[in-house]
Amino acid sequence: RWPDARGRRVLWTLVNRGDAVANGTQLVVAAPSGGARWFDCYRGTELTARVALGTDGAAATASLSFPLGGGGYGCALQTGREAPDGALSAFLAQMAAMTKAPLDSYSAQWRVMQQRLRPVPPSPPAASPPPGAVALPAAHSFLFSTRGLEIEGDDAHGVDAQFPWEEAPRREHSHTLAVPPLFIDRHPVTTANYSAYRRATGYAPKDALNWLSNWRPGWPFTTPPGPAPLPPKSPPPRMADWPVTYVS
């Protein structure tokens, strides 16, 4: 039972822990002296209460009936006698659309949500190594091996990532790949290199939280409140030749 601060509305939430549908009266509540309206806010419909009179002839209790699916949820809302306002009407309409199919009509079988890699067009081939890069020959039997660091769940529950050769997400990944010849930088990308890239492209992620954190004044001891501001365009001078980190 969840009354609002002003006592004008009361919300009841219910759970059916059984497997069978529960029909009939689900709640018997005190009937307000000034009258009330009741709604099944799980299904988005108005309820017709069965009102019982007290010895003084006034409304004493209201019985609310609605089905409660096996293993499902229920929600009843009591309001004043006035018509629902715009916010409540919109909420009821949304719930009616969302619960059009009964919850127990869906399969209870556990299924892991599948992941698909988004294709990325390859870079245009280069005839010679770009500045600072070296050529690597093709590898016809390259062992790709990586492991996630999640602490929750297990492989049966779809933790981590799913590569195209896997049937579901998992923590540990091992697969033999054919890798064509390629050029790779001789040294890791430095903070100075990344700063030049930022200046040339204007790149910034949509969410800058922790992006280039070690470029920010006071790192790692201060975290400004609110949305993360963008870091300075250049790293601290002492870090110019460091490999760039905090980019993902």
Q: What ranges make up the beta strands (E) of 16-164?
A: 25-30, 37-40, 45-47, 50-53, 59-65, 73-79, 133-136, 139-147
User: What angle is formed at CA 224 by the lines to CA 223 and CA 229, rounded to 5 degrees?
Assistant: 110
DSSP state of 44: T
pLDDT at 176: 97
Residue 87 buriedness (CB in 10 A; 0-12 / 13-18 / 19+):
exposed
Position 109 scores a pLDDT of 84
d(CA 74, CA 21): 12
Q: What are the mean pLDDT values of the chain's consecutive 10-residue runs (248 residues total)?
A: 86 91 91 90 93 85 91 91 92 94 82 89 86 91 91 77 92 94 92 95 89 81 67 93 92
Contacts 24+ apart (CB under 8 A), 87-94: 88/39, 91/41, 91/44, 92/39, 92/41, 92/44, 92/45, 93/44, 94/44
**Hey, is 104 helix, strand or coil?**
helix
Q: How many other CB atoms are there within 10 angstroms of residue 40's CB atom?
A: 22
Residues in the chain: 248
CA torsion sign for 123, 125, 130, 136 is: positive
For residue 95, the SS3 value is helix
If you search the block for the tokens 């201060």, which residue do you land on?
A: 222
Is there a contact between 213 and 165 (Cβ–Cβ < 8 Å)?
Answer: no
Give the Cα separation of 63 and 73 in Å (integer).
Answer: 18
Amino acid 57: pLDDT: 81
Global confidence as pTM: 0.52
What pLDDT does residue 230 have?
A: 86
What was the pLDDT predicted at 70?
85
Nearest of 180, 166, 43, 74 to residue 115 by alpha carbon: 166
Intra-chain end-to-end CA distance of the chain, in Å:
45
Q: How far is 177 from 107, CA to CA, in rounded Å?
A: 37
